[in-house]
Amino acid sequence: MKLLKPGEEIDGFEIEACLHAGGMAHIYSVHFAQSANGMRREPEFSMAMKIPRMTAGDGAENIVSFEVEQQILPSLTGPHVPRFVAAGDLSRTSYLVMEYVKATTLETWAENFHKENFQTGLHDRAIARLGAELAHAIHSLHKQNVCHLDLKPANVLIRPNGKVVLLDFGLSCHAHYPDLLAEELRKAVGSPAWIAPEQVVGVRGDPRSDIFAIGVMLYELATGELPFGEPATTGGMRQRLWMDPAPPRKRNLNVPEWLQEVILKCLHPEAAKRYPSAAHLAMDLRNPEQILITERGRQLKGTGFKEHFKRWIKAAGMHYQASPLASRQIKEVPILMVALPHADVSDATWYSLREAVDRSLGIRPGARLACVTVISPSDTSSIESDKSESSVHRMHLARMQQWSQALDLHDHQISFHVLEASDVANALVTYAQGNEVSMIIMGAATHGLQMQRFVATVPIKVAMEAPCTVILVKQDVPFEFLGTLNDE
Amino acid sequence: MAHAKAQGIDRWALLGDLVGYGGNPQEVVDTAMRLADEGAWVIQGNHDALAVKPPVDDQSLGNSTAQWTHDQLGVSQRGFLKALPLIALSGPLLMVHASAHVPERWHYVDTERAADLCADHALQAYDARHVVVGHVHQQTVYYRGTGHSMMRFEPTAGAPVPMPAHRRWIATVGSVGQPRDHQPDAMYAIYDETAGRMTFHRVSYDHQAAAAAIREAGLPEFFAERLALGK
């Protein structure tokens, strides 16, 4: 399709200017055209029109991927995707009109980031913040049954407030729609530098493929290099089925161990050994100090030749299972949150909460647990040293850790969080929302449920406003244990 | 039918096998006749053909009910079933009970290969890009993506599936009352031609009453039992 000039009209949209002439499509800024009666509709937000190039020389995939995007974009909602406005009839004029998000691409962001930071030491917290926002955005897609499958810096927008918007759903996969890009020959569909190993062998629709792509981007941010380069052949892409990339710390010693741990976990060749959901990843990136660092995080040398050779043999026969609905898959690995009271708490309460958490984790392998306690801002003081913020927080963290000792954790990840807020219910609900928590477990009595008759109590407020299930635990403790459980 | 009406449908298509395993053949055929008068497409299925002309010497389970069904129906009802067409065409959309490949042989469209054959015949013989099929008691979409043959897709009940006009596809819409996926709910689908979307539905119905009617009619217990089990 030839370039359109400003003022030209398509189906009631008037071209303003060409924003981008890419290999696949032209992007224009547009506004509503004047209607017959001379009126012009004012849009609620700036709009962009995407028109595929689709000239005779372009491959069929270009056209199909445009059709895929045209199917998927209108189905998506939320702040992490551009809002859909209109789509053209594919057999006549193909186009998509969507919200024009004024933001920087991760590509540009990363360039500036590297310019500023490689001299002054690495700002790993900035990487973690961005990574958490990115993971949060991806999780919102997965909840809507869509896997992006073409995540790369050019498709990630960062708003001035740090929030992430995802673009380009041309290679995405919607679990409720026939996948037009799947085919019997199962060839690799994706961008060579960021594509996950299972995508290389033609498996589409696993949310953990997107986790892999986040890993590649974090690697790039941390080291300035791509973990697997930009292979031009299928053979080159297949490398990632068996090869571990060089540890980020080998390329840049300023990368902290926890960040390497996270990145290499995202980049695991086997999807099942990566983070099970983007929400889990976001939680780690928001709490770096609580990441359990293993040999993977510490290593400076890469995986040896012998190990790689063994895996190369194994990869030759590698078989990836097609995955069930994305939303169902991430529901199986929820984040549970337990609200632990911090004052006036009886042994029975601690005991009952632990019982409830144990039961809830027991039937959900792969779930992770966030232990949260809310303290009043007046509990800390910047003047008195024994009430300094860090010492008060440390005290509460230690209490929660002590509580968790007797939990049956197996392979459940656990983390501890002290929130300072005067409105306890609001703090808990906000935390649950921000961290994609699927279930809140809290004590009924300790938070004053019996006072509900007179005032709106914390448990009821949480139950009413929480974005998820809330379990209110009542005390139940065997008599002989009383007084022996919590010797404080 | 109440469920479909609530969705604002314009026209019915009954894809055959109106009678065969059920205990109320008269009621069913009368309803179909009424719908046909109102403009519905009604297609003949293999069980309808059997009920018109039951096999004489075959005493298998399925065929024994054909004789019973035959005896239940009046002359006009049998005449209606006998006169039903094997296919109906509406623009690029072909409606047929079994495969469009020799419809009277009742081939199942249950594999990608069978779907390929069906789609090719529909295109060659009727210039139809889309086919909706009954016969197999499952809800499935066969579509052509970037490859050369049909791909299979299992829709999620209630979630609209994009099935655009320019693509070739086949939908098996499942059966009202004889599911085979261990759930008793009835299956049907609504095609929105303008939007190019098909929504596959599952609707609960009084399968115990249907089973009671089968038992009352003295038909084999198996036909009553399977309704609740969905197999």
Neighboring chain B residues of A177 at a CB cutoff of 8 Å: 153, 161-162
Work out the percent of chain A whose per-residue pLDDT is above 90.
Answer: 46
- Does A112 have pLDDT greater than 90? no
- Does A445 have pLDDT greater than 80? no
Least trusted range by pLDDT, from A277-281, A339-343, A370-374, B115-119: A339-343
pTM: predicted TM-score of the whole model, two decimal places = 0.85
Residue B62: which pLDDT band, with cuts at 50, 70 and 90? low
* Chain B interface, best mutation among A176, A186, A327, by max B CB count within 10 A: A176
Residue B188: which pLDDT band, with cuts at 50, 70 and 90? very high
pLDDT of residue A323: 59
**Residue-range definition of the domain harbouring residue B32:** 2-229
Segment A396-403 shows an average pLDDT of 89
pLDDT of residue B83: 93
How close is the nearest chain B Cα to the Cα of A110, in Å? 35
Segment B213-224 shows an average pLDDT of 86
Phi, psi of A62 (to 5 degrees): -55, -45
Structure tokens at A384: 């008195």
**In the block, residue with structure tokens 């009910």:** B65
State the complex-level ipTM: 0.86
Is the Cβ of A328 closer than 8 Å to some Cβ of chain B? no
Alpha carbons A68 and A62: distance in angstroms, whole number:
10
- Does B68 have pLDDT greater than 80? yes
Structure tokens at A272: 């099942």
* pLDDT tens track for B110-155: 998 999 999 999 999 999 999 999 999 899 999 987 777 888 999 9
Least trusted range by pLDDT, from A250-254, A321-325, A473-477, B188-192: A321-325
Closest among A263, A274, A262 to A320, alpha carbons compared: A274
pLDDT of residue A56: 45
pLDDT of residue A308: 81
Is the Cβ of A17 closer than 8 Å to some Cβ of chain B? no
How many domains are there within chain B?
Answer: 1
- Does A239 have pLDDT greater than 50? yes
- Does A447 have pLDDT greater than 60? no
Phi, psi of A397 (to 5 degrees): -60, -40
Contact between A122 and A252 (Cβ < 8 Å)? yes
Segment A426-443 shows an average pLDDT of 92
Contact between A169 and A141 (Cβ < 8 Å)? no
Least trusted range by pLDDT, from A218-232, A307-321, A375-389: A307-321
Closest among A257, A67, A78 to A174, alpha carbons compared: A67
pLDDT of residue A487: 42
Of all residues in chain B, the one with the smallest CA distance to A177 is: B161
How close is the nearest chain A Cα to the Cα of B19, in Å? 32
| CATH number of the CATH domain containing B220 | 3.60.21.10
* pLDDT tens track for A174-195: 999 998 887 755 677 788 899 9
Segment A31-52 shows an average pLDDT of 88
Segment B167-171 shows an average pLDDT of 93
Tell me the helix, strand and coil percentages in chain A, rounded to 5.
40, 15, 45
Residue A120: which pLDDT band, with cuts at 50, 70 and 90? low
Give all domains of chain A, ordered by start, each with its CATH number. Answer: 9-99 (3.30.200.20), 104-329 (1.10.510.10), 334-481 (3.40.50.620)
Closest CB to B159: pick one of A67, A176, A181. Answer: A176
